[in-house]
Amino acid sequence: MYARRQPLAGGAAIMRSDIIKSGIERAPHRALLYGSGLDRTVLGRPFIAVATSWNDVVPGHVGMRDLERHIERGIFAGGGVAFFFGLPGICDGLAMGHPGMHYSLPSRELIADSVESMLEAHQFDGVVLLTNCDKITPGMLMAAARVNIPAIAVTAGPMMAGQCSRIADDLKALAERFRQAGRPETAKAAERLATGRTIYGDGYYGAGWRKAGMLTDDQLAAVEMAACPGIGSCQGLYTANTMACLTEALGMSLPGCGTALAVSAEKRRIAYTSGARIVEMVQGDIRPRAIMTEAAFRNAIRVDNALGGSSNTVLHLPAIAHEAGVRVPIEWFDEIAKTTPHLTDILPGPTARHAMEDLDRAGGVFAVMHVLVDQIEAADTVTGRPVQEIARAAKVLDTSVIRPLDKPYHKEGGIAILKGNLAPEGAVVKASAVAPKMRRFVGRARVFTREEDATAAIMEGAVKPGDVVVIQYEGPRGGPGMREMLYPTSQIYAAGLNQSVALITDGRFSGATIGLSVGHVCPEAAVGGAIGLVREGDEILIDVNRRKIQLRVKVGELRERRKAWKPLPPKVSTGYLARYAAQVSSAALGAVMTVDGGSAKEVKRP
C-alpha cells in the first residue's frame, strides 16, 4: 500500500514508483520502461496511472479518447508522467432485458480488482479514474479506497437530450388518446416527447406503445433516433449520472465534473485540471481515505436524496465505504431522507421535464449543496478546499430547476428503506417516483422466478390492476448478478398500470424506475429469504409512508412453507458468474464479494 513520502538527504522525495525505477537492481525494470518509449529524463517524475474505461460500445465512453488527451496534457504540465491502461465498461442499457444483465453488477468487482492489480503491480504514485457509466464509477472508487494512493475521478459527462419534433403532431395526438382513456401521466409523457426533452428511457415507452399498436414502425424509429442524439451518459438521473453527481459530492472529482456535458469544452478543461491536480495531490500526499470519510458519505446520501437519484446508490455507496473501512448501513439512506427535501425533478421522473443539461445550467451539484449547506458536514475534497467552503460559494442559477428549501418538490428525499416480514433486512424504493395514491397499496401476488417471464406477462396483458408482480431469484446470488428490472417497470408504465400495479423483487432497478417498484429485498430468495416463500395470490401490503412491506400470510403457514422450501438449482455453474455467486454478500451490505461468501464485516483499513 501507499508509503508516505519522506525527504532524502539531498532534498528529493521518495516516491512509491521508486521501487520499480530506482537503484542498480532495477536496471531490468528501467529497460522495460525505456522499451515502452519512456525517456530517461522523466524517471524522476511521479508516475501517474490513468485508468480509462474507453470503448466504442457505450455512448458514455465513446468520447473518452479526447478526454484522455486533456488529462495527459494536465499530468505533463503538472510535472508527472502519464501511463494509460484500459478497463471493461458494460452498458446497462445494451445489457437490459436479456442474460447479459447478469454481468453488469459483477463487473463492478472486476473493475475494482483490475484497478487494484494494475496500481499495485506497477507501484504508481497516483491515479486518474476516467469513468462514466453505471458500475464503472463505483468500481473505480472502490479500488481507489482499497489501494489508497492519491486519486481523482473524471466522469466523462452526460449526453444532451434529444427532440422528437419530426413526429410531434403524432405524439400530441397520442397524448390526447391517453387523456381520453383516463391515463393522464402517460399523456404527459407523450406530450413531453412532442414538445420537450427526449431521453434514452423513452425508447422503452415507445416499445410499449408500438406493442399496443399506438405507434407505427416509422414513428418508433423516430423515437429511437431522438432518444440518444450523441455521446455521453444517458440524460436523466439514471445510475451513471447519479453516481457522477455523488462522486463530486464525496469530494473525489472537481466541482462541476458531475454535470458538465460530454460534448462541452468545460468537460475538457476539467479533464486537464484533474491531470494537473493529481500531481499536486501526490506531492501533498492527499489520499482517498482522507476524503471518503463517514461525513463525506452522509453528504453524498443527502445529495442523492435531494436530487431524487437512482436507488442503485444503496448498493454502491456502502460498497465504496466498505473498501474505505467505513460502515454505511442502509438505514442511513432512510434517516437522511426524512430530513432532506427533494429539490430537483430531473427526468426520468414521471412529471419531470428537466434533463442533466438543465441541472448543469442551474449550477450543478454544488448549487444543490449550497441550498443544503447547513446540513452539509465537514469533509475534505480533491481540490484541497473543504466541501462546506465550496458549497457556500456556489450559486443557484435557476430556481425552477433547483428549488429553495421552502418550495421543494417533496418534503422528504427520494429514497426510502422498507422493512417487514417480507424484507427483515430491508428493501429499497425510489419514493420520489411513487404516485401519492400508491404510497399505501395492498395487492395480490403474481409470482415469477425470471425477469423475462414477468415482462412477457405484463406485455401480454396478463397483469391486471391490483396485482403485485413478485420477481424472485434475481438477487446477487440467485440471479446471479442482481439484474436491473427496467424492462418490466417501464412496461407497467407504458401499459398505464403504474398507479394500480406494484412490483417487488430481490433484483434491483434503474434510476429510470417509475411507480411503486420495491427492490433489493433482503434476504434474497436464493438464501431462503421470505420473498422466495411468496405464492400466487398471496396478499401483500406496501406502505411507503410507514416504511412497511408485509406478506399477509399466517405465521403457521409461513413456517410450513419454510420447512418445505428448497433452493432452486444455480442458474449458472461455470465461469465468472459462478465464482461471483459463491462469494457475493447481501445487497443490504452493498453486494460486495467476500472471502467467506456471505458476510461483509467491518474492515479496518491500514
Pairing of strands 502-505, 415-420: unpaired
Strands (E), 431-528: 440-448, 467-471, 502-505, 517-522
Cα–Cα nearest to 505, from 515, 518, 492, 522: 518
Mean pLDDT of all residues in the chain? 93
With H, G, I as helix, E, B as strand and everything else as coil, classify residue 569. Answer: coil
- pLDDT, position 4: 38
Q: How large is the average pLDDT for residues 201-209?
A: 90
What is the distance between the alpha carbons of residues 442 and 445, in angstroms, rounded to a whole number? 10
- pLDDT, position 604: 42
Which H or E element spans position 66? helix 64-78
Q: Which of 17, 114, 233, 510 is catalytic?
A: 510
Q: How large is the average pLDDT for residues 97-126?
A: 96
What is the distance between the alpha carbons of residues 448 and 460, in angstroms, rounded to a whole number? 15
Share of the chain above pLDDT 70, in %: 96
Per-residue pLDDT tens digits for 304-346: 999 999 999 999 999 999 999 999 999 999 999 999 999 999 9
pLDDT for residue 348 is more than 80: yes
Please give the model's pTM, rounded to 2 decimal places.
0.94
Per-residue pLDDT tens digits for 507-539: 998 766 778 999 999 999 999 999 999 999 999
Half-sphere CA count of 3, side-chain side, radius 13 A? 12
- pLDDT, position 13: 61
Domains and CATH numbers, the chain: 18-160+234-393 (3.40.50.2300), 165-227 (no CATH), 416-564 (3.50.30.80)
Cα–Cα nearest to 92, from 47, 136, 126, 35: 136
Answer with the residue of higher pLDDT: 597 or 279: 279
Q: Which residues pair with 440 in a beta bridge?
A: 543
DSSP string, 308-369: T--TTHHHHHHHHHHHTT----THHHHHHHTTS-B---BTTSTT--B-HHHHHHTTHHHHHH
Q: How large is the average pLDDT for residues 530-552?
A: 97
Answer with the residue of higher pLDDT: 4 or 477: 477
Share of the chain above pLDDT 90, in %: 87
- pLDDT, position 432: 83
Q: How large is the average pLDDT for residues 580-598?
A: 89
Per-residue pLDDT tens digits for 235-268: 999 999 999 999 999 999 999 999 999 999 999 9
585 has catalytic annotation: no
pLDDT for residue 598 is more than 60: no
Per-residue pLDDT tens digits for 2-29: 333 443 334 446 899 999 999 999 999 9
Q: How large is the average pLDDT for residues 140-151?
A: 98
